[in-house]
Amino acid sequence: MAQKPIIYKSWREMPLMTASMGDTTINKTGSWRNVEPHHVEQVPPCSFRCPAGNDVVSFVTLAAEGRLEDAWRVLAQTTPFPGTCGRVCPHPCETECNRAQFGEAINIHSIERYIGDLFRDNPPELKRPPYTGKHIAVIGSGPAGLSCAYQLKMMGNAVTVFEAHSKPGGMLRVGIPDYRLPPDVLDGEIRRIVDMGVEILTDHRVGVDVSFQKLMDKFDAVFVAVGFTNSRPLGAEGDDGDDVIPGIEVLRRINLGMKDGVGDKPLVVGGGNTAMDVARSLLRNGRDVSVIYRRTRHEMPAITEEIEELIEEGIEITFLATPVEVIRENGRMTGVKCIRMKLGEPDDSGRRRPVPIEGSEYIIKADCVVTAIGETTDLTFLPDEILAKTSWNIPADELGRTLFSKMYAGGDVADGAGTVTAAIGYGRRAAIAIDASLRGEAIPENAAVSPSLRDRTGYVVPFEEINLAYFEELPRLEPVPLEIEPRIKTYDEVRQGFSEEDLTREARRCFSCGTCPACDNCFIFCPDVAVIKVKDDPDKFYIVDTEYCKGCGLCAAECPRSCIVMKSVR
Amino acid sequence: MQKVLTGNEAAAWGAMCAQAQVISAYPITPQTTIIEELANLVANGMLDARFIKVESEHSAMAGCIGAQAAGARTFTATSSQGLALMHELLHWAALGRLPVVMADVNRAMAPGWSIWTDQNDSLAQRDTGWLHYYCESNQEVLDTVIQSYKVAETVDLPVMLVLDAFFLSHTYEAVHIPSQDETAKYLPPYKPSIYLDVKDPHAFGGIVQQDVYMEFRYKMQVAMNEALEVAEKADDDFREMFGRGYGLIEPYRLDDADYVLVTSGTVASTARVTVDDLREKGHSVGMLKIRMLRPFPFEKVRQILSGRKRVAVLDRNICVGMGGIFTQEIRNAMYHIPEDKRPSIYGYIVGLGGRDVSPEVIASIAEDVQKRAVADGEQVWIGLKE
């Protein structure tokens, strides 16, 4: 309630100097306003870039506060594989991190890994709705399939997963070496999915042990997530011998504890993650391994860290060359004839196309070639009428919907994105679509986004909107990896995790872009006491008293993380 | 206690006697040794004060304003360009009615760069609403610091006391230093009527409209009028307690003098010697020292100068395009007395940029004022290389 104005009749009544004698409510400065602040939460670039849709900013912020179980619950919304992703994801969240321009990007993957590991064997209980009565078949127990199964189960459905191999995990199991993803991490995270009640039938190859049509008939929906299973052929003369082996086959053998079947001096062809993984695995198996890639390091599609670690471990990469012929004497490979390449015009991928240099052929000594120049799908299990509608993939939309009702597809078999995280996101989106469809409900908007971020309608916070006055320029914390010498003789995990102290320190570097932690800066700086704290509503920290807000914008300027935007008054 | 101190040290010890609670200052030649000495006094525990190191004189005064507004007794010191940089905040302190006390070591303004004395720096701040004292000796500097607090805190206006660069600032004299306890009997603790207090919140220095701005200015004028009496009483009380007093103006051998030399600062000391000489030679010459420039002691000046033949005002300053500033002040004061009692007023510009004002210079002025029948022109430049 504003008080009455004080009217002075004489200078003698007036105070010594211009000091307020009443309260400031007399002065309704709100009438001056032509812009006004809105307290909003904006989209942080990390969360925006996460292919799995993880609410990165929230789990990092909670980790900074030491609320690790809450951080785990944030992750559990969108992924059953925090420990796995914390190890194998190429972390685009860090590439986009605004901190990179002030200090270095937050070590998000190490934070995710810590949280995942901490609760892996004793996961907190999650609330689930009652059983829907629906039963969904998932083909493939890779990251897309298990992500979809996990989400469907969390929504109250029954799920059965069909896996061709003897162990679940798909590419996580057979495509990623133990030194990057220790088996106990994967086992633990899959165990949680099984413990929730997801049925996984291993050694069940669809098309052999059970027909696709039977699944379509028996289940309420079928999600196809068989991934990439076949290596592309080398395309060199003489590439049809037993001594030319697909890289993913070698990885499968190693990961399933079989003999790798590779000679003493293998040449790995390719520049992607499979090439890196198979070369480093063969090094650990005592082979004199080298890599050949037809472009330069700049064009290599493998994760940068994997390339760096491979070079650290002493594996040689020959750039700008490619095999053209396998040379054999008496049926035994003695070498590979290669041709040198140069980079030409950019191709469809935007990378410069390698062009052979005529007459530059030369021979690299090798007794075995391992191909890792890309993978393809094997869709032969599908009935002919469906197969006829496929190309290199199963065409599906962002929500996994195919041309056929009840049939959904996701992961590499649909988009070929080639990362675990993208597959997890695809599986989750498909699960949302399947569940909504089976309930007869509309698919929620922003299905790709973590539920805890869905009401954020603002823009992605740019670095320029971070108020650096409130942050210290601190370097990124990075756990020290295993020493080269012991690690190349074993499959021990190369990269180490955070200590709890480092976890907290690193998480505290986070700007929390666009995410209000109720720091009270706006409340403190408002010269008109027009920012009011809301104590009762945990989701709404501050409101603006429009009778007094004169639109000065101090609150927006002093917000460290762009949670206040000024808008014109209409 | 008696110590041999420079004028700058005397200023610092004056603040120590008065128990200033916050020192906010930035060094500048020739003021630097004031704040060095204060830093020593704070560091060795003789003065229990917060010493704020700042990055400019503007901030030095801002620091004093903030601390004074919070109810603390503050002290600062500066000189020349530093004082000029404070200009905006000098208004702020005065209109905010904050009784800050500051020593200004008179130094000529640049360019050309000079570290030597003249009064243009302090006189350029004449209209900011501060009280101005001009000091003649190191003892007067110390005593005036103490008196300044008494006056400032009574009328709620800031005080600038001025001492000449090097002639006082770096010259040693024996100085009596009262203890803090003795001083406290003269100068009670600072108790502002209104100050920053979370238990009684007010906003200070806010916006006012046309309906009250003039009244705030008028209240300052009332306070300045009152300050004349307050300053006189403060000097009388000081004399009673410590045996030393200076008056707001000081007549020297004026009783029967027809000709009066008006001086300020250290020139007054030289003028005393010169007057003694001239008297011996039979000249009817006396001297009037102006110690307080603001508020201007109109009545006292009129009373003393009324009926004299001629008055020579020695200005160690120049208001370019007008003349000496003390000359203007004296002329202004003498306009309203009856014509038959009104002396002719001669203006002399002396000693700019630290040029020596010797007994010979002063004697030449005394000779000129006796010889020249009409005070033609606004000013005479003494010792100019023609």
> CA-CA distance, B318 to B206, in Å (whole number)?
36
Instruction: Give the pLDDT mean for A468-480.
Output: 95
B373 close contact with A: CB closer than 8 A: no
Of B194, B218, B219, the CB nearest to A19: B194
Residue of B nearest to A18 (CA): B205
Q: Report chain B residues whose CB lies below 8 A from the CB of A19.
A: 194, 202-206
Instruction: Kindly report, as residue ranges, where domains of CATH 3.40.50.970 are found in chain B.
Output: 2-242
Instruction: Kindly report, as residue ranges, where domains of CATH 3.40.50.920 are found in chain B.
Output: 250-381
Q: Report chain B residues whose CB lies below 8 A from the CB of A16.
A: 97, 156, 193-194, 219
Per residue in B196-229, pLDDT tens? Answer: 999 998 889 988 889 999 999 999 999 999 999 9
Q: Beta-carbon neighbour count of residue A524 at 10 Å? A: 11
Q: Report chain A residues whose CB lies below 8 A from the CB of B218.
A: 11
Strands A332-346, A352-356: pairing kind: antiparallel
Closest CA to B269 of B368, B159, B372, B357: B357
Residue of A nearest to B223 (CA): A16
Of A8, A14, A19, the CB nearest to B203: A19
Q: State the pTM of this model.
A: 0.71
What is the per-residue pLDDT for A456? 83
What is the per-residue pLDDT for B366? 97
B210 close contact with A: CB closer than 8 A: no
What residues 222-251 of chain B have any CB closer than 8 A to a CB of chain A? 222
DSSP notation for B360-373: HHHHHHHHHHHH-S
Residue of A nearest to B98 (CA): A17
Instruction: Give the pLDDT mean for A60-85.
Output: 96
Confidence class for position A453, pLDDT limits 50, 70, 90: confident
Q: Which residue has the higher pLDDT, B309 or A1?
A: B309
Domain architecture of chain A: domains with CATH: 11-42+516-568 (3.30.70.20), 135-229+377-448 (3.50.50.60), 232-374 (3.50.50.60)
CB within 8 Å: B212 and A19:
no
pLDDT at A1 over 60: no
- Tell me what the pLDDT averaged over chain A comes to: 93
Strands A375-376, B2-6: pairing kind: unpaired
What residue type is B352 in one-letter code? L
CB within 8 Å: B97 and A16:
yes
Per residue in A484-526, pLDDT tens? Answer: 988 999 999 999 999 999 999 999 999 999 998 888 999 999 9
CB within 8 Å: B194 and A18:
no
Residue of B nearest to A19 (CA): B204
pLDDT at B16 over 80: yes
Confidence class for position A81, pLDDT limits 50, 70, 90: very high
Q: Report chain B residues whose CB lies below 8 A from the CB of A24.
A: 203
ipTM of the complex in this document:
0.89
SS3 for B77? strand
pLDDT at A250 over 70: yes
pLDDT at B39 over 80: yes
What is the per-residue pLDDT for A539? 64
Closest CA to A184 of A174, A173, A198, A175: A173
Where would I find the H helices in chain B? Answer: 7-17, 32-43, 57-69, 80-85, 87-95, 120-123, 138-155, 180-186, 213-242, 267-280, 298-305, 325-334, 359-371
Of B156, B216, B222, the CB nearest to A18: B216
A-interface mutation test, from B98, B197, B200, B212, most A Cβ less than 10 A away: B212
Of B203, B205, B222, the CB nearest to A24: B203
Strand arrangement of the beta sheet that strand B249-252 belongs to: B249-252, B285-290, B259-263, B310-315, B344-349, B380-381
What is the per-residue pLDDT for B342? 95
Per residue in B255-303, pLDDT tens? Answer: 999 999 999 999 999 999 999 999 999 999 999 999 999 999 999 999 9
Per residue in B41-56, pLDDT tens? Answer: 999 999 999 999 999 9
What is the per-residue pLDDT for A348? 85
What is the per-residue pLDDT for A2? 59
Strands A321-329, B172-176: pairing kind: unpaired
What is the per-residue pLDDT for A22? 81
Residue of B nearest to A12 (CA): B219
What is the per-residue pLDDT for A26? 81
pLDDT at A538 over 70: no
For domain B2-242, the question of CATH label 3.30.70.1400 is answered with no
Confidence class for position A318, pLDDT limits 50, 70, 90: very high
Indicate the fold that domain B250-381 takes in CATH: Rossmann fold (3.40.50)
